[in-house]
Amino acid sequence: MLAHALAEQLRHRGVGVVAVSRSECDITHPDAVAALFETYRPTLLLNCAAHTGVDQCEDEPHRCNAINGEAVGTLGKQARRYDTRIVHFSTDFVFDGQSDRPYRPFDPPRPVSAYGASKLLGETILAQTAPPSWLIIRTAWLFGRHGACFPETILKFARAGRPLKVVNDQLGCPTYTTDLARATLNLIDVDAMGIQHVTNSSPTTWFDFANATLQEFGFSPSVLPVSTQEWLRMRPKQAKRPAYSVLDMSDYTATTGQTVRDWREALREYRDECTTEAEISPMAS
């Protein structure tokens, strides 16, 4: 999702983009990464590759550490060798969810899942290996076209007439890929470095996010709220998720002079784009 949005925004600016798929370069293979840099000698690398199967990561921690952690170090080493600016995307899952205020970029990370631990490993290794100009952007609850996401899942269940139960006691900020891509370029424009937090604004729950999605796409909201404890009783093998994962955006605003719009407004744009492209519709079979 994010790679498509970034490529689209860069092309709008007239920037030459090489979008490399996993089949073209598996970042867990150092030789493939070295060949990629030798071929393209990029001035900027945006790493959107990740193992994002949060529950699956619990069963295969070595694989998720290889992709989300060690491979990021491989990219960082090549970026240092070729003096390439590198931007890496991380997650709210590096935090434990016990805060009573939005998380700031330099709050101590305490992941509670294998996925979160692997993403923190990637952050740590990148800071040790990449050129000084590295940039890590933490985000959360990503949705957009060109990939599976929460609104798409909710709509599939609604179209199938299946009952919907959604957790109502986890708080965070949905993030539209187009807005994250624009914000990323805003940070690059001002030579931002270090760790930044970027999401859409206005915290919400997964339950309210689900209801809003149904409303925007013309369905009658019919979602039952459940607690995290109830959900885990139904699905005991699921990874633990932070109960509170709102990210503080004040550094982004101070650095760029920009803000990111409310997630509900972004959801409407997502709806319009999906409807126009006939990707998702209440009338779809």
If we measure between CA atoms, which residue out of 170, 173, 174 comes closest to residue 98? 170
Q: What is the pLDDT of residue 38?
A: 98
Q: What is the pLDDT of residue 137?
A: 98
Q: What are phi and psi of 89, to 5 degrees?
A: -105, 130
Q: What is the pLDDT of residue 277?
A: 61
Measure the CA–CA gap between 48 and 146, rounded to whole angstroms.
Answer: 13
* In the predicted structure, residue 281 carries a pLDDT above the cut 50: no
Q: What is the pLDDT of residue 99?
A: 97
Coil vs helix vs strand at 175: strand
Q: What is the pLDDT of residue 283?
A: 34
- Residues 137-149 have a mean pLDDT of 96
Catalytic residue of the set 103, 115, 176, 270: 115
Q: What is the pLDDT of residue 276?
A: 72
Q: What are phi and psi of 44, to 5 degrees?
A: -140, 130
Inter-CA distances, 17 with 89, 96, 200, Å: 18, 36, 25
Q: What are phi and psi of 137, to 5 degrees?
A: -115, 115
Q: What is the pLDDT of residue 237?
A: 86
Kindly tell me the burial class for residue 206, based on how many C-beta atoms sit within 10 Å of its own C-beta (0-12, 13-18, 19 or more).
Answer: buried
The CA-CA-CA angle for residues 251, 175, 104, to 5°, reads 30
Greater confidence (285 vs 3) lies with: 3
If we measure between CA atoms, which residue out of 246, 61, 257 comes closest to residue 138? 246
Q: How many CA atoms lie within 13 A of 280 on its CB side?
A: 31
Please answer whether residues 77 and 129 qualify as being in contact, where contact means their C-beta atoms are separated by less than 8 angstroms. Answer: yes
Q: What is the pLDDT of residue 282?
A: 37
pLDDT, tens digit (0-9, with 9 covering 90-100), for 5-38:
999 999 999 998 999 999 999 999 999 999 999 9
Q: What is the pLDDT of residue 222?
A: 82
Measure the CA–CA gap between 139 and 266, rounded to whole angstroms.
Answer: 15
- Residues 57-63 have a mean pLDDT of 96
* In the predicted structure, residue 83 carries a pLDDT above the cut 60: yes
User: What are the structural domains, with CATH classification, of the chain?
Assistant: 2-276 (3.40.50.720)
Q: Is 103 a catalytic residue?
A: no
- Mean pLDDT estimate for the chain: 94
pLDDT, tens digit (0-9, with 9 covering 90-100), for 152-180:
999 999 999 888 999 999 999 999 999 99
pLDDT, tens digit (0-9, with 9 covering 90-100), for 99-132:
999 999 999 999 999 999 999 999 999 999 999 9
* In the predicted structure, residue 285 carries a pLDDT above the cut 80: no
pLDDT, tens digit (0-9, with 9 covering 90-100), for 219-265:
987 899 999 999 999 888 899 999 999 999 999 999 999 999 999 99
Please answer whether residues 141 and 244 qualify as being in contact, where contact means their C-beta atoms are separated by less than 8 angstroms. Answer: no
Query: How many other β-carbons are positioned within 10 Å of the β-carbon of residue 191?
Result: 10
